[in-house]
Amino acid sequence: MRTLIKHVLATTEPRDEVAVKGWVRTRRDSKGFSFLEVNDGSCLANLQVVVDAGTPGSDQLAHFTTGASVAIDGRLVPSPAQGQKWELRATKVELVGLADASYPLQKKGHTAEFLRTIAHLRPRSNLFGAMFRLRSRLAFAVHEFFQQRDFVYVHTPIITASDCEGAGEMFRVTTLKGNLEEKPQTDFFGRRTYLTVSGQLEGETFACALSNIYTFGPTFRAENSNTARHAAEFWMIEPEMAFCDLQGDMALGEEFVKAMARYAREHCAEDLALFAKFVDRGLPERLQFVIERPFIRVPYAEAVELLKKSGKPFEFPVDYGLNLQSEHERFLTEEHFKSPVTVYNYPREIKPFYMRLNDDGRTVTAMDVLVPGIGEVIGGSQREERLDQLLENMKSHQLKPEEYWWYVDLRRYGSVPHAGFGLGFERLLMFLTGVANIRDVIPFARTPGNADF
């Protein structure tokens, strides 16, 4: 029976008959024996294997090169070497798969840019192994967070006919050939369809039945912004709560971000240490900070005033009624408040139709959570639950209520105040690891001009 290396290394007593399988990271030959460093991806650390000349299978040892896959049986004994508790004294070694000298991941460190060109092999590097183990643990933590709070997980559709955000950034889904606009009613679904930008609208229908729900799935945006924070395909977590207002929404969002930071620190310590060492030295301090400090809440109008008074030479203009750009968001969280910041009550003109209009008639109950190094990690709002006002909003956004009839119905039958938000999973991972490019926190990045692998 094979044992994963993470369990081998966590052993408390010497053991006979340990079997491991993995990939060779390095081999060093000495007179009469060889050292192998083997990694199986179960943890960051390698297992050191000592192979004496004459060990069954060792006639193949010349082929145990970097990248080759191997199976090794042996005895686990305390290691005399520095920095490791155990080593495996091989009793049998077997070459499973060759890797010749063209194997691109050699021992020396590689740049993230180079590793993107070999996205199929980069999970075998220390950095990406750590990233994707962490990603997996955090995905589990997301579910745990919501399940513990009695939220119901809803699978919202990936193919949809409605543009939730109204930004016109949707990928068309079609089986039509030739002119797509000629007869959309003859298309597969009998209408124009797209990849979803958000599960929110469908999520709201379930919140207005099951009270507290969340979605966690892929979303797609045909946004042609080639930045380090935008991907065309990304994963979003969207909770939605019935009988909840903006205050409750902000509280959940802030608690969620804190809980994820805490979880990463408690459950991914070895991998986080790698990021702290090689990617972002300030990482431990930043996590500590987010876990301990309350988030600052500031209305949009006040944030705009702060930005104007800052005297900073921003690239993009700052004025009431304009969107905050990432440089503005980062100024607020990194320089002005030096703390995570929740900006709320944005001008209605720059936000989608579904947000609830405030009594001032000018602003909507939107909120964005901004964190250092990233800017916006969460976008959410209280939803417009009043039928008349929703119809009015749709009109001013040039949307046809009949195309959203089921969404409008929620306001006809037992409408309730409700609120929710979306958290970009990749942005959260960037924040928790210090990795600066979204292409390096998702297994296979989809960005403009790039869908390889």
State which residue, 73 or 329, has the beta carbon closest to Mg ion: 329
Quick check: 379 binds Mg ion (CB under 5 A)?
Answer: yes
- Which of 127, 173, 246, 377 binds ligand 4AD (CB under 6 A)? It is 377
Q: From residue 53, how far is each of 47, 68, 244, 426 by CA, in Å?
A: 19, 19, 70, 48
Output the smallest distance, CB 425 to ligand 4AD, in A: 8
Nearest-CA neighbor of 324 among 355, 366, 294, 382? 366
- Which of 422, 435, 440, 441 binds ligand 4AD (CB under 6 A)? It is 422
C-alpha R_g of the chain: 26
Distance (Å, rounded) from C-alpha 37 to C-alpha 404? 59
What's phi and psi for 135, nearest 5 deg? -60, -45
- Which of 37, 40, 73, 165 binds ligand 4AD (CB under 6 A)? It is 165
Distance (Å, rounded) from C-alpha 86 to C-alpha 88? 7
Q: Binders of Mg ion among 37-76, rule CB under 5 A?
A: none
Find the length of the chain. 453
307 interacts with, out of ligand 4AD, Mg ion, none, CB within 5 to 8 A per kind: none
Distance (Å, rounded) from C-alpha 49 to C-alpha 46? 9
435 interacts with, out of ligand 4AD, Mg ion, none, CB within 5 to 8 A per kind: none
Angle made by CA atoms 32, 36, 37, in degrees to the nearest 5: 155
- Which of 64, 132, 214, 421 binds ligand 4AD (CB under 6 A)? It is 421
Output the smallest distance, CB 375 to Mg ion, in A: 10
Quick check: 375 binds Mg ion (CB under 5 A)?
Answer: no
Quick check: 221 binds ligand 4AD (CB under 6 A)?
Answer: yes
**Residues whose CB falls within 8 Å of the CB of residue 451, separated by 6 or more in sequence, listed in order:** none
Q: Using CB under 6 A, which of the segments 96-104, 136-144, 310-318, 424-432 binds ligand 4AD?
A: 424-432
Distance (Å, rounded) from C-alpha 446 to C-alpha 453? 10
129 interacts with, out of Mg ion, ligand 4AD, none, CB within 5 to 8 A per kind: none
Inter-residue contact 50 to 90 (CB < 8 Å): yes
State which residue, 90 or 374, has the beta carbon closest to ligand 4AD: 374
- Which of 158, 187, 218, 223 binds ligand 4AD (CB under 6 A)? It is 223
Quick check: 200 binds ligand 4AD (CB under 6 A)?
Answer: yes
Q: Using CB under 6 A, which of the segments 9-17, 34-42, 43-51, 375-383 binds ligand 4AD?
A: 375-383
Return the beta strands (E) in 85-185 as ranges: 86-97, 152-153, 159-160, 172-173
Query: Which tokens is 304 given?
Result: 């705009």
Output the smallest distance, CB 376 to Mg ion, in A: 6
Q: Using CB under 5 A, which of the segments 34-42, 113-121, 299-307, 373-381 binds Mg ion?
A: 373-381
Inter-residue contact 19 to 1 (CB < 8 Å): yes
Quick check: 378 binds ligand 4AD (CB under 6 A)?
Answer: yes
Distance (Å, rounded) from C-alpha 279 to C-alpha 282? 9
Quick check: 380 binds Mg ion (CB under 5 A)?
Answer: no
Q: Which residues contribute to the site for Mg ion (CB under 5 A)?
A: 379
Q: Which residues contribute to the site for ligand 4AD (CB under 6 A)?
A: 164-165, 198, 200, 221, 223, 230-231, 234, 236, 238, 376-381, 420-424, 426-427, 438
